Amino acid sequence: MERKMLPRVTIFSTMTVDGKIASKTGYSKLSCIHDLERLHRLRSSHDAVMVGANTVLVDDPQLTLRHVSGKQPTRIVVDALLKTPSRAKVYRQPPKTFIITFKGNVVEALKKYPGIEVIGVPYKFDDILDLEDALSRLYMNGIRTVLVEGGGYLNWTLFKLRLVDELRVTISPYVFGGNRVCLVSGDGFDGYVERAELLLRKIERCECGNEVHLVYDVKK
């Protein structure tokens, strides 16, 4: 069987020391100005930026370049159930946006999100879309690099499907506690037979002096 051509996938996240990307109330403003610039430089160097439906629902992000200049990346929203509102900024403002959803929802998606590119795929597992198929189709649309900015469930899905090439994490000097909104959510690996293994490539102390940025390659 011929191997599908896929874009390179990098996950970027800023999290607390205890691994949370948001508090129990959804508060997620963890980055200093230098970390925001770091994120936007990464956006400018990628063909597309991807988020899950919950990130759109909670944060209503623009996913555009503001802290640096450069080419605006294509936006991608993974929304299996079409939960995100059509009035969300990512759909109403340029540049181009794709939505990845369950293949049975394509007709509804085309009606709900006029002018948005829709990619319909089957489920790989019970509640996990076949994002390998989606990424392959994005590759055919000229997208060679994808920066994923969460949330935790999308991160889990990509790790579960072995689609992550690189993980970049900024550790911010906070503790939120609790057991919700982690860097990687979902069912989780059992840790004995199945797990994701990383190779540390770089450690950077942030210019603010109080954050650390880590870069890992993901073993395939």
Has residue 108 been placed in a domain?
yes
Has residue 7 been placed in a domain?
no
Mean pLDDT of the chain: 95
Q: Give pLDDT, residue 193.
A: 80
Q: Which domain holds residue 143?
A: 14-218
- How far lies 195's CA from each of 88, 101, 132, 180, in Å? 35, 26, 18, 20
Q: Give pLDDT, residue 76.
A: 98
Q: Model confidence at 181, in pLDDT bands (50, 70, 90)?
A: confident
Q: Is the peptide bond before 151 cis (omega within 30 degrees of 0)?
A: yes
Q: Model confidence at 191, in pLDDT bands (50, 70, 90)?
A: confident
Q: Give pLDDT, residue 204.
A: 97
Query: How confident is the model over 155-168, as pLDDT tens digits?
Result: 999 999 999 999 99
* CATH number (domain holding residue 135): 3.40.430.10
Is 21 within 8 Å of 183 (Cβ atoms)?
A: yes
Instruction: Write the secondary structure of 13-48 as one string of H (helix), E (strand) and C (coil).
Output: EEECCCCECCCCCCCCCCCCHHHHHHHHHHHHCCCE
**Structural domain count, the chain:** 1
- How far lies 173's CA from each of 14, 166, 168, 183, in Å? 10, 23, 17, 15
Pull the structure tokens for residue 201.
């490539």
Is 11 within 8 Å of 111 (Cβ atoms)?
A: no
Q: Give pLDDT, residue 2.
A: 60
> Length of the chain, please?
220
The 8 Å CB, 24+ separation contacts for 125-128 are: 125/160, 127/80, 128/157, 128/160, 128/161
Mean pLDDT along residues 141-156:
96
Q: Model confidence at 205, in pLDDT bands (50, 70, 90)?
A: very high
Chain-centre distance for alpha carbon 42? 13
Pull the structure tokens for residue 81.
């159930």
Is 174 within 8 Å of 30 (Cβ atoms)?
A: yes
Has residue 55 been placed in a domain?
yes
Q: Give pLDDT, residue 158.
A: 97
- The answer to whether residue 97 scores a pLDDT higher than 60 is yes
Q: Give pLDDT, residue 56.
A: 97
Q: Model confidence at 4, in pLDDT bands (50, 70, 90)?
A: confident
